[in-house]
Chain A
Amino acid sequence: MNSVTVTSPPGNAPTRHRMTRNEWRNLRNGLLFISPWIIGFLAFLVYPIYYTVRISFTKYTGFGPATWIGLDNYHRMINDPIFWKALWNTVYYTALAVPIGVVVAMGLALCMNQRLPEVPLYRAILFIPSIIPGFALSLIFLILMDPTQGIFNRIITSVGLPGINWFGDPAWVKATFVFMAQFGAGQVALIFLASLKAIPASLHEAAMMDGASAMNRFWNITVPLMTPVILYDLILGLSLGLQIFTQAYIITQGGPIDSSRFYVLYLYDNAFKYGQMGYASALSVVLFVITFVLAALIFWSSNRWVNYDTM
């Protein structure tokens, strides 16, 4: 594009490349164009994170001055059984919802990848629950899975099985939230489907010539080529799973007996119900660190299982 760089004086060492006028202008323009993002990044992400860390060392109700109390909030957390309960609930939910979500979405994508003329219809039906408002879906599930008024128990009891108190039984409530999360699988299934379609047919044909079974081809061709998308979904799913809030806020409010008290619900209550902004900040810092560490672990492990070869 710019012939200017070619005519740099011969005395210049290639490593000490001097920027031409053109390049300076591009740098300036580039930064100008992205400047809204830089400002937003600093104002709505970097500064709030710094602010959270700072408040987490104080006792602060949201009004009046914050008093410095050092690591007290973190000590309190270690001795707070509800914190541990909330952390356990959240990790339990995420550890089930995310892998199951990958399997469900993969299954749906594989089915939709067949030559069926009515696939667009399936695609639409599967996709819709993932875009309707979470608060509305929560209200619907509250009634759908109501022990007496819900259609699920209506079906179960009509075949003679005992009804289940889905959101009201401590033994079932987290599993019910995991089940509910699968209604968002349509979106991930679409992403998987797009990358399934990108796998060249010639690979499968060649393997078939060599007598590879369908199972064989799935594990040795399809899955390895899908691993980058699976990695992306695992990390995003992890982050979203640890954030679970709306469903629990609307349906259970953390009950029964704290069995669905998820992390963000506890964080929210501390900040906005109990006026414990300092403690809520410490909870935020810990959630941020947990998310980061788990995401880093998945990313680090991806060296062993993600295939970056071009197709």
Chain B
Amino acid sequence: MAKAIIAEATQTAEQFRSQRRAHWMRLFSQQVLPRIILIAVCALFLLPFYWMVVTALKTTPELAKYPPTFFPSALRWSNFRDATHVITFWLYMRNTAIITALTVIASVISNPIIAYGFSRIEWPGRDKVFLLVLATVFVPFPVLIVALFDIFAKLHWVNTYLPLIVPMFFGQAFWIFLMRQFLMGVPREISDAARIDGANEFRIFYEIVLPQALPAIGVISIFAAIYAWNDFLGPLIYLQDASKYTIAVGLAFFRSQHDFQYSLAMAAATIVVIPVIVLFLFFQRAFVEGITVGSIK
């Protein structure tokens, strides 16, 4: 009898121990390990920004030191002012801002109209044509640069902003896709009621559906702004006068000069990167929703 009780007790103790072990294993694999990995990768991902800011603040003698210092011994804030003087920094920033604004306007006009035709009107062959739209995402843009340059040169558009902006009035595949996904979710009934009342399709689009799509339009304007701000190859090819450069081309040009100074380059990079980070922090939700749209398919 007593033996049986002891055996049972050891059995439950063992069970208890193995349960505890399983519990700790689960805790480790679900809470501890992912945290370690994420913190390590996040630290790695923050390193470039840390080094950018630190280098931007170093004095010239400190920059020449070997090995490099982890923290600047004196913060030289005037590097930021100097960086904007060695090149016509604010002119490039202004040019970039103009192109960015026009890109946003063009994208916000064109993509909703096109997406409406792919989502709110039923017509034969629509979804097949839409597959063609999606396929264009995979076309590598650089294979077109020779032809586009030559075509735009013949139109006398080279060295103007037109080659960068005009194509935006004709929609971008990914943004059309984004907008279409959103418009499909707007209830049918609201446009059907207007159709019965005899409203024409453009009025239904403009007065009834578009106001419902404001969140998606917000996402597209953010993506368009980032796209224009970050674009390098386009401005590099089409803009030839230094006075028309965007900041992307201006900084690359700065890089190619022999007196390329690390601290000034990083100060300039910091000023260019900050607006993007601020935009992201303000509109995180829009970014996440825009990126993940249609991934669940």
Q: A residues touching B (Cβ–Cβ < 8 Å)? A: 1, 19, 23, 26-27, 29-34, 36-37, 39-41, 43-45, 47-49, 51-52, 55, 62, 107-108, 110-112, 114-116, 120, 122-129, 131-137, 139-144, 146, 148-151, 154, 157-158, 183, 186-187, 190-195, 198, 214, 228-229, 232, 235-236, 239-240, 242-243, 245-246, 249-250, 264, 267-268, 271-272, 277, 280-281, 284-285, 287-288, 291, 295
Given contacts A137-B48, A264-B142, A281-B147, 15 further A-B contacts (CB under 8 A): A19-B124, A26-B121, A30-B121, A32-B201, A34-B114, A36-B110, A126-B38, A131-B230, A135-B251, A140-B48, A142-B265, A190-B291, A246-B232, A280-B146, A284-B144
Provide the main secondary structure of the chain B interface: helix
A261 CA to B245 CA, complexed, in Å = 25
- Determine the chain A residues whose CB is within 8 A of the CB of B70 once the complex forms: 151, 154
- Determine the chain B residues whose CB is within 8 A of the CB of A143 once the complex forms: 51-52, 55, 262, 265-266
Q: List 26 A-B contacts (CB under 8 A).
A: A19-B124, A27-B124, A29-B121, A36-B169, A36-B170, A36-B171, A39-B170, A43-B170, A48-B147, A49-B147, A107-B37, A108-B41, A125-B45, A126-B41, A131-B280, A133-B272, A133-B276, A143-B52, A149-B262, A150-B68, A187-B291, A191-B295, A193-B292, A284-B143, A284-B144, A287-B142
Interface pair A131/B226, CB less than 8 Å apart: yes
| B contact residues, range | 35 or more
Q: Which residue of A lies closest to B235 (CB)?
A: A135
**With contacts A43-B170, A115-B30, A135-B251 known, is A287 near B41, CB below 8 A?**
no
B199 to chain A, nearest CB (A): 12
The contact of B146 among A135, A148, A250, A281, by CB within 8 Å, is: A281
The contact of B123 among A30, A44, A45, by CB within 8 Å, is: A30
- Determine the chain A residues whose CB is within 8 A of the CB of B272 once the complex forms: 133, 136
Q: Which residue of B lies closest to A180 (CB)?
A: B48
Interface pair A44/B41, CB less than 8 Å apart: no
- Determine the chain A residues whose CB is within 8 A of the CB of B63 once the complex forms: 149
The contact of B151 among A48, A154, A288, by CB within 8 Å, is: A48
Q: Is B288 an interface residue (CB 8 A)?
A: yes
Interface pair B123/A37, CB less than 8 Å apart: no
The contact of B269 among A19, A112, A139, A264, by CB within 8 Å, is: A139
A18 to chain B, nearest CB (A): 12
Stretch at the interface among B1-9, B10-18, B74-82, B131-139: B131-139
Q: Is B29 an interface residue (CB 8 A)?
A: yes
The residue among B121, B122, B129 with the most chain A CB atoms within 10 A of its own CB is B121
- Determine the chain A residues whose CB is within 8 A of the CB of B118 once the complex forms: 30, 33-34
Interface pair A249/B146, CB less than 8 Å apart: no
- Determine the chain B residues whose CB is within 8 A of the CB of A112 once the complex forms: 34, 38
The contact of A239 among B138, B145, B146, B147, by CB within 8 Å, is: B138
Interface pair B233/A245, CB less than 8 Å apart: yes
Q: Is B219 an interface residue (CB 8 A)?
A: no
**With contacts A128-B280, A149-B68 known, is A135 near B140, CB below 8 A?**
no
**With contacts A112-B38, A198-B296, A246-B232 known, is A144 near B176, CB below 8 A?**
no
Interface pair A41/B140, CB less than 8 Å apart: no
Interface pair A271/B114, CB less than 8 Å apart: no
A127 CA to B41 CA, complexed, in Å = 12
**Which 6 A-B pairs rank lowest in CB-CB distance, beginning with the nearest?**
A40-B170, A33-B117, A30-B123, A111-B34, A194-B292, A48-B147
